Homo-oligomer: A and B are copies of this chain.
Amino acid sequence: MHYITKITNFSASHRVFNPELSDEENEKIFGKCSNKNGHGHNYKLEVTVCGDINPLTGYAIDLKILKSLIEKEIIEKVDHKNLNTDLDFLKNQIPSIENLATAFWQILENKLPSGKLYKIKIFETDNSFVEYYGN
């Protein structure tokens, strides 16, 4: 079993806040991340798939195909977007990297041409990241 990872990037804005809370509560919990006009990040997304080597190709999964899948299913939808307002699959969710990772897992889980989704890793900054294994 080999674990293969493709790294891609996207830039998006968000405001981290819970609409069911008051402004004061949001400010207290989320601090500057709840700035009303939003802020943004260059996100780095790492998708890891596992599988056995196909003797025809020497590949566990073809990284060209994995990259195309990630770009079509995720990057085109989130790059240069506002995560609070522009994405159907994040509607009514706080756009934290935890919720993003869960949403990306659900999108990719059944779309893989070969191999099995193993991990979603998202960096929000160079110093903060989440990892999610599907449960």
Contact = CB atoms under 8 A, between A and B. Distances in A.
Interface in A117-135: 125-133, 135
Contacts of A133: 1, 3
**Main DSSP-derived SS at the A contact region:** mixed
Contacts of A80: 32-33, 35, 39
B11 A96 contact: no
Tier of interface size on chain A: 35 or more
A63 interface: yes
25 contacts: A2-B102, A2-B130, A2-B132, A3-B131, A5-B130, A6-B128, A7-B126, A7-B127, A9-B126, A11-B39, A11-B40, A12-B40, A13-B38, A18-B58, A29-B56, A29-B57, A32-B79, A33-B80, A39-B80, A39-B82, A42-B126, A53-B98, A58-B94, A58-B98, A59-B98
